[in-house]
Every structure is written in C-alpha cells, then in structure tokens.
Chain A
C-alpha cells in the first residue's frame, strides 16, 4: 500500500464507486427501456427462461434503480477526481 495520507486512499474508493455506479445506472436504464418495449410487444414467455420470472425480474430492476439512484452515489460522482489514479490502496 502506498505511503500516502488517508485522503488519497479514500479517493480510490470514491473514484471507483463513482465510475461503477454510473455504469450500473446506464445498465439499469437499458433494462428499463427494454422492459418497456417488452411489455408493449407482450411476447409469450412459454418455454423460455422468462417463464414465471418476469415479475421477479421487473421487481429486481426496480430495486436496482432505487439503490443506484440514492443521493449518496451522487455525492460520490460529484467528488470524482479524474487525475487521481486510484493506486493509493494498492
């Protein structure tokens, strides 16, 4: 571990959290968009992995959306520092 002050070690997690939650938000947005399209088309799920699971998947997408939208993640995104190279903890 690098011999640096704790502010820089904390920034490792802040930066990675900010980047990853943005990726999660993008993934959730993709899922929500496809869910909307899926519901509009309303195909039969018989014989597929979706059979009996659509409600659970939809609920999980909503749960992911709720968690990824928490304000604490916005705080991490706002505190992202591009020039910090995330190697203070390594």
Chain B
C-alpha cells in the first residue's frame, strides 16, 4: 500500500471501553462522540485487522480527530498498539509503549474538529503488527500535557500507511 493510504478507520460506536476510566459515549448535535475528561486519563480501544496490503515499510501514522469544549488551551493524545497474534494472551493487556500526539492549540470555535497525528514506526512501537494481524489501538487523552479545560470529544481515528 502506498504512503498515505488509509489502512483502518474507527468511530465512537466501535469503542471497546476498558473496565475503568473509559471515555463515555455521547452525542454532539447528533454526532457520535467519546468524551474524555481533562484530569483523569480516559481511554478508548478499537480492534481491527491490519489489511493484507499493508507494506510494513516504515510504519503507520495515526490521525485522531476531536472537538473540545474549550476554545483555548491545547489538546493532546497518546496511542498504543497491541498485536493479537497466536502468542498473545488476551487475558491481560500487552500494549506497546505509548506514542504521543503533541498537544496542540484547540480551535477558537468549540465545535470545530481538530485532527492531530503521530507517526508510529514499525516494529516495537507498533507491537510488531504486520499485515493480517488482529490488533487493538488504545487512544488516551494526554491530560498531563494538554491544557484545555473541560472535555475533549473524539470523533474518529484513522490509521494510514506512513
């Protein structure tokens, strides 16, 4: 697959919430969203199968699109991959180390979506996910580094070939 091509997309209804500190589902003017607290690090988890045409040449870039209640301050995220191959015990989590999406100033209009991204290199940072692997991606608000007050509201996650 060529650089920039979409590998997977996720939306709020596909969330597989963790047992605690999960981002609750809600609507904003009819748009499905997941609400992320500004102090406690809430997470959302999505499952997919890496497409067979994923080249694993460099890795992937993860795009997170969200709105904020605030019209000032910054919004940031972390993303983590978990490969679910035959060597994975699903009874416990085994996410790779968190990859940080740098906290960035939110739009001046509260309802305006902001898309941020981080490149995740192949191998350990992706928990060695390759074509055909089932995997999970966990998205967490980076509450320790972003400064926007009030909820941020995740609308979508896209994974592209880097």
A residues with CB within 8 A of B: 2-5, 7-8, 11, 81-85, 87-88
Q: Please give, as numbers and ranges, the residues of chain B lying within 8 Å of A3 by CB-CB distance.
A: 144
Is the CB of B143 closer than 8 A to any CB of chain A? yes
Q: Which residue of B lies closest to A87 (CB)?
A: B39
The interface residues of chain B, by DSSP majority, are classed as: loop
Contacts A5-B145, A83-B37 known; 20 new A-B pairs at CB < 8 A:
A2-B39, A2-B143, A4-B38, A4-B39, A4-B144, A5-B146, A5-B147, A7-B149, A8-B149, A81-B69, A81-B70, A81-B149, A83-B150, A83-B151, A84-B39, A84-B149, A84-B150, A85-B37, A85-B38, A87-B40
Q: Which residue of B lies closest to A7 (CB)?
A: B147
Provide the bound-state CA to CA distance between A4 and B74, in Å: 12
**CB of B28, distance to nearest CB on chain A (Å):** 12
